Amino acid sequence: MTEPSTARRVRGTIGAVTGGVAREVDRDWVRPEPDRREYFRDVALAAVLLAATALSVLLSQSSGLYKNPAPIWVSVLYVLVCTAPLALRRRWPEAVAIVVAITFALAQILSVPEALFANISLFIALYSVGAWGRHRVRATVVRVVIVIGMFVWLFFALVAHSAAPGSLANLPRTSAISPIVAIGLLQIVTNLLYFGGAFYFGDRAWAAARERSALVNSTAELAAEREINAQRAVSIERVRIARELHDIVAHHVSVMGVQAGAARRVVTSDPAGAAASLRSIESSARTAVAELHRMLTTLRDDGGPAADGPSTRGIDQISTLAADTRDAGFTVHSRTVGRTRPVPPTVGATLFRIAQEAITNTLKHAGPGAEIDLRLRYLDDSVELEVGDSGTGPGSATPGAGLGQVGMRERVDAVGGTIQIGPRARGGYLVRARIPTGELA
């Protein structure tokens, strides 16, 4: 199996997908239209500001601080135009900001007795352009034009105020900085902080919404990727089960086929030999059924070991496999080289399945007179299995490309080993697998 490399490819794919989504959002993202709840909040905000501005106008008019306040109808119109458009600040942020800015300036020129909530309304309008402007260049241009207009208006207001007769009569003359310069600097610093804050917090709100959208998109992509991975895992599991079934069924059915042919040929001339072949068929059938039962029971048992856990078949059963093959009428030369030692269950199961598959291929393709040479070598840091045949059949020199060879390669890859499969120079076929087991103790 190649799960580690598959996992790496999946992680790389996910990283590429999420990175690509983030870059795509940065480049082309447009903030979606507000929903009904956001519209309701804006209407509520506009209503609260309208009531607060109306109360502020009433209190300021009654305080006597304004010598020539604007007529009452002008103040009422100002309250409506300055606050009511904020109900649509997320839908048309640029238009709302322009209307509120013009109303703010006209209110100062016409001496409307209110300043507190007018500043709050203008701040919210400018903030909304930065937070909800769907065309970023236009949002920036609108805010820059408004800010420049406000500073131009402030400049002319300061000049007009300083030029008015008696406007500086009561200001102290003992400080190091001119009173008009000090007032101008205070106004500039205050407005820079005011408009800078509206710019900054508006842009930050838009960036935060963009990041949330990127996160949502990435989450959706990851969910889709998880679904694909789940389907891929199901496919891999199906292939694994198919390979297990192939290993179990193909070997025993091949043995039973050979034994049945032998029994048919000698059933009249050698009844005892035919009976021995039938007993071998019975034994192979029982073994196949037992292994199928074990595998299917493991697959059905949710609380049991994993379906891809080590098989009950291991390296010790390779000699039994060779004996069963001899009983099927084949000549098997089996030899163990080196000092035997315990190996990990996964290594033992892998070697057994490779030996089983190689012998099955010999039974199917090498011909009835083929001899099998099975060698098991215990090396210092690995175990090597070699299964060769003399190859007398018509398909003995033809390398297969079916599930069996693919399964052998995947099994060896899964435990970090190497495998060679192919025809031998002197005839026949050879399977040689080497699996590391660690240093010999």
Between CA 206 and CA 32 the distance in angstroms is 11
| The 371-378 sheet, strands edge to edge | 331-337, 371-378, 382-389, 429-436, 418-423
Burial class of 270 by CB neighbour count within 10 A (0 to 12, 13 to 18, 19+):
middle
Instruction: Decide if pLDDT at 292 tops 80.
Output: no
Compute the mean pLDDT over every residue in the chain, rounded to the nearest whole number.
77
Q: Which of the residue ranges 2-6, 198-202, 219-223, 345-349 has the most confident prediction, judged by mean pLDDT? A: 198-202
87 φ/ψ angles, rounded to the nearest 5 degrees: -65, -20
Give the tens place of pLDDT for each residue, 64-116: 777 778 888 988 999 999 999 999 998 899 999 999 999 988 888 888 888 88
**Are the C-beta atoms of 73 and 87 separated by less than 8 Å?**
no
Look at residue 160 in the predicted model and tell me its pLDDT: 64
For the ranges 149-158, 353-362, 376-385, the lowest mean pLDDT is seen at: 149-158
DSSP SS3 for 388:
strand
Name the pLDDT band for 163 (thresholds 50, 70, 90): low
**Are the C-beta atoms of 262 and 269 separated by less than 8 Å?**
no
* Token digits of residue 229: 């991975």
Give the tens place of pLDDT for each residue, 299-334: 555 444 444 444 557 888 888 888 888 877 778 888
pTM confidence score: 0.50
